[in-house]
A = this chain, B = another copy of it.
């Protein structure tokens, strides 16, 4: 079988995860990493894989089957998604929930002869599929999504923008009591603070007013004001030693009913490395993306459009025999 020729755009956390994941997939070949930095400044796990400047990508048209876009949603993807979709099949994990329809529209317009699978991580992505499936099966029900324990990049960034803050890491932590209340079938109604705690580890600049920083964090609207938030001041060494790993996880629970009978569906993830797992989902979706492309199904797709068989390199017959 011909291997799927993969390119990676962006060499941050997810990009490095994608490199590791694609090199390990037996049905994939890593054909290049594309970066905005100076290519010679980057050394890959496999030194035989070329590093290109993003501007060189157009020269690789037809030589890469699927590009995994590994940039951030806030800054990179809004621009890179449509740009790369005009030249290549792409998969990305665009995760700014509120702007997905707009992003999908833009990518779809660009992907006239290519296929794009967008928002394909674990949330949006796998969790979205579980929410859809649960609601379709048990419409008399409620879905609950919990995130963590894990680092929220957005919340960490928000703290870093406060005056006097040198560095910060914020953990989102699901509240066990809330998870158990859903499991019990009671369909509780929650406020934001009932579901998640926010725990912050902050390195302050020398001489900064720590109580002012703590107040700024705890009163920050949208990010922290609606949650029970704890703030711990630590030094940079401790932050680097104990808070640079990237575990994450979470759960979708659906509590539904058929008449008087209660049913609970629960899907949970416990991830040692959020970026490597996200990259693994992107890689599986690259198979589906290319299958669509070969069938002439172009434009922007989401995980809701993908038949599960398309995620696997195995034949339909093998899947039915081994996994059904």
B261 lies within 8 A of A312 (CB): no
Chain A 251-272 per-residue mask, 1 if CB under 8 angstroms from chain B, else 0? 0000000110111111111111
Q: Could you tell me the distance between the alpha carbons of A303 and B323 in the complex, rounded to whole angstroms?
A: 11
A309 lies within 8 A of B319 (CB): no
| A124 at the binding interface (Cβ < 8 Å) | yes
| A133 at the binding interface (Cβ < 8 Å) | yes
| A139 at the binding interface (Cβ < 8 Å) | yes
Chain A 222-260 per-residue mask, 1 if CB under 8 angstroms from chain B, else 0? 000000000000000000000000000000000000110
Question: Which chain B positions have C-beta within 8 A of A1?
Answer: none
| A202 at the binding interface (Cβ < 8 Å) | no
Question: Which chain B positions have C-beta within 8 A of A101?
Answer: 317, 320-321
* Contact size range, A: 35 or more
Question: Which chain B positions have C-beta within 8 A of A308?
Answer: 129, 132-133, 136, 303-306
| A91 at the binding interface (Cβ < 8 Å) | no
| A281 at the binding interface (Cβ < 8 Å) | yes
A137 lies within 8 A of B281 (CB): yes
Least distance between A18 CB and chain B CB atoms (Å): 10
| A64 at the binding interface (Cβ < 8 Å) | no
Least distance between A6 CB and chain B CB atoms (Å): 15
A24 lies within 8 A of B140 (CB): yes
State whether A264 and B259 are in contact (beta carbons under 8 Å apart), knowing that A312-B135, A319-B304 are contacts in the complex: no
Partner of A137, one of B261, B265, B280, B321: B280
Least distance between A279 CB and chain B CB atoms (Å): 8
Q: Could you tell me the distance between the alpha carbons of A283 and B302 in the complex, rounded to whole angstroms?
A: 23
Partner of A138, one of B17, B131, B280, B307: B280
Closest chain B residue, CB of each to CB of A272? B261
Residues from 1 to 25 in A contacting B, C-beta threshold 8 Å: 17, 20-21, 24-25
Question: Which chain B positions have C-beta within 8 A of A263?
Answer: 269-273, 276-277, 280
Question: Which chain B positions have C-beta within 8 A of A138?
Answer: 277, 280
Partner of A319, one of B25, B97, B132, B140: B132
Question: Which chain B positions have C-beta within 8 A of A165?
Answer: none
Question: Which chain B positions have C-beta within 8 A of A140?
Answer: 24
| A158 at the binding interface (Cβ < 8 Å) | no
